[in-house]
Amino acid sequence: MLVSKTIQQTIKFWADKNPQKNACCLTKDSSSYTYQQLNQLCIDYGRWFKSHQLVKGDIICLALGNGKASIELLYAAYYNGLVVLPLNLASGMRAKKYVLNHSQPKIIFTDEKERKELISSAQEFQDSTIVIVESDQSPLNQIPLENIENATDTNFVETQNFALLMYTSGTTGNPKGVCLSQKNLLAGGMNTALAHQLDEQDKGLCVLPLYHINAQCVSVMACLISGSTLLLSEKFSVQRFFTHLSSYQATWCSIVPTMASYLLNEVLYKQGIDSANNLSALKFIRSASAPLPTEVHKQFEQALGIPIIETMGITETAAQILSNPRPPAECKIGTVGLAFGNQVQIRDSNGNVLPQGEEGEITIKGDNVMMHYYRNPEETEKSFLIIKNGSKTENWFLSGDLGIMDSQGYVTVKGRKKELIIKGGENISPREIDEVLYSFTDIIEAAAFAKPCQNYGQTIEACIVLDPQSKLTEQEILIYCTNELGKFKTPDKIHFFQELPKGPSGKIQRLKLLDFLQNQ
What is the DSSP secondary structure assignment for residue 125, as one 8-state letter? Answer: G
Higher pLDDT, 273 or 189: 189
Instruction: Report residue 365: phi and psi, to 5°.
Output: -135, 135
How far is it, in rounded angstroms, from Cα 123 to Cα 94?
14
Rounded to an integer, the average pLDDT of 473-477 is 96
How far is it, in rounded angstroms, from Cα 104 to Cα 286?
35
Query: pLDDT tens digits, residue range 322-359?
Result: 999 999 999 999 999 999 999 999 999 999 999 999 99
pLDDT at position 329 = 95
How far is it, in rounded angstroms, from Cα 37 to Cα 58?
25
pLDDT at position 3 = 66
What average pLDDT does the chain have?
90
Superfamily for domain range 422-518: ANL, C-terminal domain (3.30.300.30)
pLDDT at position 123 = 47
* For the chain, percent of residues with pLDDT exceeding 70: 92
Q: CB-based burial of residue 374 (10 Å sphere; 0-12 exposed, 13-18 middle, 19+ buried)?
A: buried
Q: Sketch the domain layout of the chain as residue ranges.
A: 7-310, 335-415, 422-518
Question: In this model, does residue 271 exceed pLDDT 70?
Answer: no
pLDDT at position 493 = 95
Q: Please report which confidence band the pLDDT of residue 140 belongs to, taking 50, 70 and 90 as the band edges.
A: confident
Asked if the 335-415 domain carries CATH number 2.30.38.10, the reply is yes
Q: Are 427 and 403 in contact (CB under 8 A)?
A: no
Assigned CATH for 7-310: 3.40.50.12780
User: In the beta sheet, which residues pair with residue 388?
Assistant: 393
Question: In this model, does residue 86 exceed pLDDT 80?
Answer: yes
Q: Please report which confidence band the pLDDT of residue 125 belongs to, taking 50, 70 and 90 as the band edges.
A: low
How far is it, in rounded angstroms, from Cα 207 to Cα 230?
11
Q: Please report which confidence band the pLDDT of residue 221 belongs to, taking 50, 70 and 90 as the band edges.
A: very high
How far is it, in rounded angstroms, from Cα 408 to Cα 344?
13
Query: pLDDT tens digits, residue range 11-22?
Result: 999 999 999 999
pLDDT at position 144 = 65
How far is it, in rounded angstroms, from Cα 210 to Cα 212?
5
Question: In this model, does residue 143 exceed pLDDT 80?
Answer: no
Higher pLDDT, 71 or 389: 71
Question: In this model, does residue 264 exceed pLDDT 50?
Answer: yes
Cis amide prior to 491 (ω within 30 degrees): no
Query: pLDDT tens digits, residue range 190-218?
Result: 999 999 999 999 999 999 999 999 999 99
- SS3 of residue 279 by DSSP: coil
Sheet of 338-339: strands edge to edge? 32-34, 22-26, 229-232, 203-206, 252-255, 284-287, 308-314, 319-323, 338-339
In sequence order, what are the residues at sequence separation of 6 or more whose Cβ sits closer than 8 angstroms to the Cβ of residue 62? 70, 73, 74, 84, 85, 86, 87, 109, 210, 211
